[in-house]
Structure formats: C-alpha cells, structure tokens
Amino acid sequence: MSRTILPLILFTSLLSNGCSDEDGNNGSSAEAGGLCGPANCAGCCQGNQCLKGDDNGACGTTGFPCVQCQQGEVCAQGQCITASGKCNPQNCATGCCQGDSCLPGDQKDSCGKGGQPCVACAASQKCEDQSCGCSADDCKGCCEGGICRSGLVDEACGKGGQPCQECGPGTACVLSECVSQSCNATNCNGCCSGAACKPGTDVTDCGQGGETCKACKAGETCSQATCVNASQCGPGSCNGCCMGSQCLSGQSASACGSGGQPCQSCSSGQICSSGACQLDPSSSWGIVITKADIDSSKSWDTLVYTEPDPYVTVTVGSTSGSTSVINNTYTPQWDEYLFSVPASEILKNGLSVEVYDDDVVTADQLMGACSVTVPESVLLAGGGVAKDCGTAGDVKELHFQFTN
C-alpha cells in the first residue's frame, strides 16, 4: 500500500467515528459507547445520535426521541407548533401568543415571550421580564426562585414576599421568623422558667404566652395560666373575665371571656363574640400545598422515565392557583403558597384539588381529583391531608396547610 493512501484511509476512518460539526452536537454520537438520553443530550435523540432538535424533521429537547413535525407545523424551541396561524415564534419573537394574537407578554394574565403561548401568572405571582415570578404584593410567605413558599419551614423561612431565609444552627422557623430555640413567646404557649417551657398551670409556675413563670401569692390559685385571688375577681364577683385581680368586660380579642374566668387572648383569625374566641369569617387564609405521595406501582412516563412530573391545581370558589412542576418523582414536595381567600369561602366551598402529570409531547394527564371538605377545626388547626384523591387512588396523600 502506498504512503499517500494510508493517511487518507485514517482520515476517512476518523470522520466515520463520531466527528461532529462546529456545534459539537448535530449528527454526533451522544457519548462514546453510551446511549443518547437526557443525561447527555440537550437536543433530541435519533437512534444513538444527539441532534440539535430545532429541525422540522427532527424536533425535540432534553434528550427525548426526535419527532417529525406534521404539515403546517414548525419546530420552535424543541416543540412542533402550528405555523399556519397568525401568531408563532417566527412573527412574535418578542411577545407571546394568545390564540392568533401576538401580545406584549408583560401582563399578569398574558405573560411570556419568544412566541410561546401566553400564561396567566398565579395569584401570588407577577409578570416581570416576561416571566411569572414571586410578587411581594401578593405573597404572604417568602419568595424563593420565583415561587411563593409558605415561609413556615426552617429551610425557607419568611413572610411578606421577602426573600426566604434558611434558619441557622440553634434557631428554628416560628411564625415565619428565625428565632432562638430557647424558651420565648414564639415557641412556648405556657410560661418560661429559664430555658424550659412549663405548662403554666401550677401555682409555682403560672403563666402563658411565653412570659416568665410567676409564683402565685398566698391565697391565689393558678387558674387557666393566671394567678387569681377569688376575693377580688372570680365567678362570684365578675360577669366578664379576670385579668389578674381586675375584672374586664371579656369582649375584646385580647381579653376574651365570661363568668369570672381568666381572660383569654384570641389567636390570629379569631374574634371575641359573646365572651368566647370564635373564627372570624372575614379573616384571610392562605392556601399552601406542601407535598404528595403518588402510587409508585404505575408508570406515568414511558419514553425515558417512569416517574410522573406532578403539579397541583387548587380551586376555592372562583379563585384558582397551581404549583410548579416537579420532574420525575412519586413523592413531590412543593411547600408553595398559592393564594388567599376569606375563611367563609373555605368553609363554604372546601378545596377542589386536581393533580396532573405534566407532559411535553401530549396533553397533561390527570392523576387524581377530589373535593376536600374543610371544617372550622381543620382550618384553625392549620391544615390537613387528603387521602386517596381520585377514583383510582393514584394520589395516595396530598398535604395542605392554611396560613393566617
């Protein structure tokens, strides 16, 4: 064999063993000896080749198999979309498409860009830079990654739409604030004796609301966490409630009671009515979806993963909101604040819940739907769990919270 033929054979062999174009993607093997998939291909897979995924004949993204767009469709950002309408990525690159109309994409009810379909931001979000993000005006919890969290957990603590904070060592998230884990008003319903939280019902340790425990004087008893002298204020001498030795009307939320019993402080979302703390029907309560447990015996996705990509939509009366999508899991955890409504609406309508599997190629699949009745006790307790949501029981548990 001549010396000029051998280099030519070697050069031809190199070209046939995976050399790619200048983008290092189109027409190349995904990985030497490997399989093309989401782990090594940003475009789409045609056999074991990773293609860009922006061609009408080979359209796709995130390592899914390439598809061929049908007549009248174009490949835009890895998806086949109708190109025959008045609005598409080619003629609405700076806005979003709502039907055949190209909108600016900067409004809360029509947010988006790149000629993609406009989306309506959730009640706790705003449209900023043509993307739905967390709004300090509408988020009662805290903002993290454009999503409104509950603000009640150590990993994401906060309120008022401010950025979430992670509580450091020796602290915990109590009432949306990182506080010391020593005894104080935020973590003790009784009274504090040094670093210990006491029940507050003993004559030697009497008190409530995290105050310093008191030792009742001679002739006094500790009645409902208050030292009371029966000769000065009590059932025989007071029709309202007793604050120490003082008899009050018992009709305010800060001092509520009757029959000469110790005054009680009503909790947030309650009012004092007829000497008793009761739920305020007009009080505003936030809806938070925390986590779910989905039947793992069923395969929801069949291309690469079997796990679903779940998200939850909740409706109370005429108000709705949806969580973000969490990919490839049977046990998603959101901890997302969706919206707030009056207590009367929650008690009247309950929660209408739908759990979906987000699909890129086909329509989103409904995994479970159920109606959750919310009695006053569950609302005041701060949340609950919906079990076996849907007729097939595919959503075994859905956890939700109420914030006030």
Q: Which residue has the tokens 């110790």?
A: 262
pTM of the complete model:
0.62
- Does the CA dihedral 48-49-50-54 come out positive or negative? negative
State residue 151's pLDDT score.
93
H-run or E-run covering 349: helix 343-349
- 136: CB partners within 8 A, 6+ apart: 143, 160, 161, 162
276, two tokens: 């008793």
H-run or E-run covering 36: none
Output the DSSP codes for 368-399: EEEEE---HHHHHHTEEEEEEESTT--EEEEE
State residue 32's pLDDT score.
44
Amino acid of residue 52: K
Which residue ranges form the domains of the chain, and what is each CATH number? 34-84 (no CATH), 144-180 (no CATH), 191-269 (no CATH), 284-403 (2.60.40.150)
- Angstrom distance (rounded) from CA 19 to CA 31: 11
H-run or E-run covering 6: helix 5-15
- Angstrom distance (rounded) from CA 255 to CA 275: 9
State residue 85's pLDDT score.
60
State residue 14's pLDDT score.
35
Decide: helix, strand or coil at residue 8.
helix
State residue 74's pLDDT score.
75
- Angstrom distance (rounded) from CA 48 to CA 32: 10
- Does the CA dihedral 191-197-201-202 come out positive or negative? negative
101-127, pLDDT tens digit by residue?
A: 889 999 988 999 988 899 888 777 889
State residue 231's pLDDT score.
67
Buried b (16+ CB within 10 A) or exposed e, 193-216: beeebbbbbbeebbbbebbebbeb
Phi-psi group of 8: left, alpha or beta (phi > 0 → left; psi -120 to 50 → alpha; rest → beta):
alpha
Buried b (16+ CB within 10 A) or exposed e, 251-276: bbbebbbbebbbbbebeebbbbeebe
State residue 8's pLDDT score.
39
Alpha helices in 180-306 (DSSP H): none
**Is the distance from CB of 192 to CB of 204 less than 8 angstroms?**
no
Buried b (16+ CB within 10 A) or exposed e, 332-357: bebbbbbbbbbbebbbebbbebbbbb
State residue 294's pLDDT score.
94
State residue 223's pLDDT score.
74
State residue 26's pLDDT score.
45
Long-range contacts of 215-223 (CB under 8 A, 24+ apart): 223/261, 223/262
Q: Which residues of the chain have pLDDT under 50?
A: 1-27, 29, 31-33
End-to-end CA distance of the chain, in Å? 86
State residue 126's pLDDT score.
86
**Is the distance from CB of 173 to CB of 193 less than 8 angstroms?**
no
Of the CA atoms within 13 Å of residue 151, those in its CB half-sphere come to: 25
- Angstrom distance (rounded) from CA 76 to CA 360: 13
State residue 230's pLDDT score.
57
State residue 280's pLDDT score.
96
